[in-house]
A and B are shown apart, each in its own frame.
Chain A
């Protein structure tokens, strides 16, 4: 028994997050009996990845503040101010907290025609499902489950989302939810193939599917911009962003699968959309923007430097993804499918060919 604990402790201590700035504090804290153990447990890389970054805490903070960034930026582009009066001197920074709390306290209506168990289960399930890929996402050197097949695993989990959206729509049993769900199903097949090929192109290019190793290579977006473009468009399609906001088209099918949800159930779906976008943005960062690599600005951050760069890059990608809605109207379903099955697959194949040529040519 003691041996097991010792081994475990050894594992934890051998894989600690190295942050020179915090070291003096950590040293003093580690003198205390229980606290030291907890701190070292949290700083154990897999746990740190799961709980802090890129895991739950980051997701939580991002969810509370990223929509604010999005709303403010969109408002700015649209010659408006955006949320503000709630705390004028902070520019309405805590707007999302109010919205979230309001959803939390509001009544959840399950309408007569809905399939009650599924109607209530799917928002929670989809929320959880959207958290799973975080296990395989790395921020710099921090990763929950280190495996050479992380990218593939992540991709497989990402591909799970649409099923939950289909479930939401099915359980809602409403005409608009039905159309929205069918649209989601169509769009799913349209983007998925090209999306996977684009990732494949990058795996071939880097010769590895371990995201940790990818960070040392040159940025993917420079090596294979076509793959980056395909991936970005695929991400926009996957997260239903403009101009591919086809399944949730507000003016056409009244938010599609989400039309009947209220209260915290809708809150979870709303959050799920952002989570999904965050994961895809994270993946884009890892694959194309060099992950956590970046110059050391604040000395002594150690491994946190990678985490910081990962976050900065991810937020930039996210913002770009979300600001698309101020630039584009929405495509029609058949046009979306055309782009997915036609242009995007062609581009992804070209990207794949480019990767092979680059690898064969010995560029990388």
Chain B
């Protein structure tokens, strides 16, 4: 345990402290440790994992709805596309940029950008439809210089380079690919409602009647491990397991 006590300053100490305070002001007025990023003309370099606006790749989407389900702010809603699949839309009037959606996306269809400085005229424009999330958007930019904060052993250093930052990050797929398949863990409880068969996107689930009892069959090769059937199973007897 450490006790902190503050002694009264004597007049001499007070004078010293006054001098020190004035000294700092004088020194800083000559050699300031300015730390300013002059934003509209300069832009601060953000790391690649920066959480900004979200881009979407429909090719990789397995239509699992997990981004919509995990979104704490309910900013992501699924919109039906012409191919009858549901793709995400993001409402930036709600989005909190936690990127739980990106971390949930097992196919790597969602990815981040370094765009974050945007002003909307109208709140209705803030809903970004799926169509608008595919190509990188354009923002008004005035920056000519890129500023990078670096911390060395002595102080914060501000490195300025005359370049325009590229705001988009190449896709980073999930670092670990774990192929998963759906598996029925309690076949005896199956009531034969066919829900899993209906929801399966890849057609991996088929039903067969054996000995007068209907049984579901899951083809492990075609199963993408999206987990839709697991979620929908009325008896909760399906489980995702490693391939």
Contacts and interface: CB of A to CB of B under 8 A. Distances in A.
Chain B interface SS verdict (over half): loop
Interface in B9-53: 21-22, 24-25, 28-29, 32-36, 38, 40-41
Contact of B25 (A80, A81, A88, A327): A327
Interface residues of B, number: 14
B21 A328 contact: yes
Contacts of A323: 25, 29
B28 A76 contact: yes
A76 B38 contact: no
Contact of A327 (B22, B34, B35, B40): B22
Interface in A78-92: 78-81, 84-85, 88
Contact of B32 (A79, A85, A327): A79
A79 B25 CA distance: 11
A73 interface: yes
A353 interface: no
A77 B25 contact: yes
Contacts of B24: 327
Contact of B35 (A76, A79, A328): A79
A326 interface: yes
Contact of A80 (B21, B22, B36): B36
Nearest to A82: B36
A77 B38 contact: no
A77 B29 contact: yes
Which of A79, A80, A323 has the largest number of chain B CB atoms within 10 A? A79
B21 A79 contact: no
Given A327-B21, A327-B22, A328-B21, A79 B28 contact: yes
Contacts of B34: 76, 79-81
B27 to A, nearest CB: 9
Interface string A304-337: 0000000000000000000100111000000000
A81 B24 CA distance: 17
Contacts of A78: 28
A74 to B, nearest CB: 9
A88 B32 CA distance: 19
Contacts of A79: 28, 32-36
Contacts of A326: 25
B40 A73 contact: no
A243 to B, nearest CB: 10
Which of B24, B25, B36, B40 has the most A CB atoms < 10 Å from its CB?
A: B25
Interface in A3-46: none
B21 A77 contact: no
B125 to A, nearest CB: 27
B32 to A, nearest CB: 5
B230 to A, nearest CB: 55
Contacts of B29: 73, 76-77, 323
Given A323-B25, A327-B25, A77 B32 contact: yes
Contact of A81 (B21, B22, B33, B36): B36
A76 B21 contact: no
Nearest to B30: A76
Contacts of B28: 76-79
Contacts of A80: 34, 36
A70 to B, nearest CB: 12
A77 B27 CA distance: 8
Nearest to A73: B29
Contact of A76 (B32, B40, B41): B32
Interface in B65-117: none
A350 to B, nearest CB: 15
A84 B38 contact: yes
A73 B34 CA distance: 12
A208 to B, nearest CB: 34
B38 A81 contact: yes
B243 to A, nearest CB: 56
Contacts of A85: 38, 40-41
Contacts of B32: 76-77, 79
A81 B41 CA distance: 13
A84 B41 CA distance: 11
A84 B36 CA distance: 12
A53 B209 CA distance: 107
30 contacts: A73-B29, A76-B29, A76-B32, A76-B34, A77-B25, A77-B28, A77-B29, A77-B32, A78-B28, A79-B28, A79-B32, A79-B33, A79-B34, A79-B35, A79-B36, A80-B34, A80-B36, A81-B34, A81-B36, A81-B38, A85-B38, A85-B40, A85-B41, A88-B41, A323-B29, A327-B21, A327-B22, A327-B24, A327-B25, A328-B21
Q: Which are the 5 A-B pairs with shortest beta-carbon distances?
A: A77-B28, A327-B25, A81-B36, A76-B32, A79-B34
Given A73-B29, A76-B28, A327-B21, 5 more contacts: A77-B29, A79-B28, A81-B34, A81-B36, A327-B25
